[in-house]
Amino acid sequence: MERATARDVLRRGALARPRELGLAALLVALHQLAEAAVPVAVGWVIDLAVVDRDSGALLRWLGVVVAVFAVLSTSALFGYWWGARTEKMAAHRIRMDVAERVLHPAGGVPGRSGELVSTAGSDADRAGEVCRVIWGGIATLAALAGGAVVLLDASVVLGLVVLGGVPLVLLASRLLARPLVGRAEAEQGSLAAATAVATDVISGLRVIKGIGAERAAAESYRTASRAALRARLSAAT
């Protein structure tokens, strides 16, 4: 059986519910565009109704503002709900793949049972977040496009500055995030090791009690748990 790469795992998780993922991206993008339209609509209310003291125009533009907020809230409600669902379904597919690989007639996978539990648990949940990256990224691009149109209409220079600055900010963020990637990997590894030790202690509890090794078992888990805690704190700071 071929060994799956990290990219293969993420791709398979993202394709667990492609239609729902596309729907979530569309709705969240619509939400972001509505967010960008709020100050524009309010500005129109002031310019075309309040300044001119036109009560009819005021009512019409207030209706537009209400419609924008209705679209904003509705698309956010359903978009983020579908987005969360795609994350959970992606994590579920990865967990099923882990279980299928473990139970494959050709043989299981290397590693202790506790490590496999961690892989099918927290690792699968974290891998499922690739869906959030996809629909969140699409929504961000939609918001950037909508904001760029508004800014370019108001000031070409300001719009170009923003459009030129965003890629630089993203590049800087990626460079700054590189150390965090290594810390996150170390955190996942230490968590898997602590889970493996806990599983070994529970499965061999009778033997441990029989030979009087409770203190050694407790110390072994304490060491692994503290290592996982240090890795967690390092990843969070």
Count of domains in the chain?
A: 2
How is residue 127 written in tokens? 């891998």
Same structural domain for residues 230 and 113? no
pLDDT tens for the chain, 237 residues long, are 456 666 777 777 777 788 888 899 899 999 988 888 888 888 777 777 666 676 777 788 888 888 989 999 999 999 999 988 988 888 888 888 777 777 666 655 665 555 566 666 666 777 777 888 888 888 888 888 887 787 787 777 877 777 777 778 777 777 776 776 666 666 666 776 777 777 777 777 777 777 777 788 788 778 877 887 777 777 666
Number of H helices, E strands in the chain: 9, 0
How is residue 62 written in tokens? 């207030």
The answer as to whether 159 is a domain residue is no
The answer as to whether 17 is a domain residue is yes
Same structural domain for residues 88 and 191? no
Same structural domain for residues 93 and 177? no
How is residue 229 written in tokens? 């805690």
CATH number of the domain within which 43 lies: 1.20.1560.10
Same structural domain for residues 130 and 175? no
Same structural domain for residues 175 and 96? no
The domain in which residue 67 lies consists of 1-154
pTM for the full model? 0.65
Same structural domain for residues 45 and 116? yes
The answer as to whether 19 is a domain residue is yes
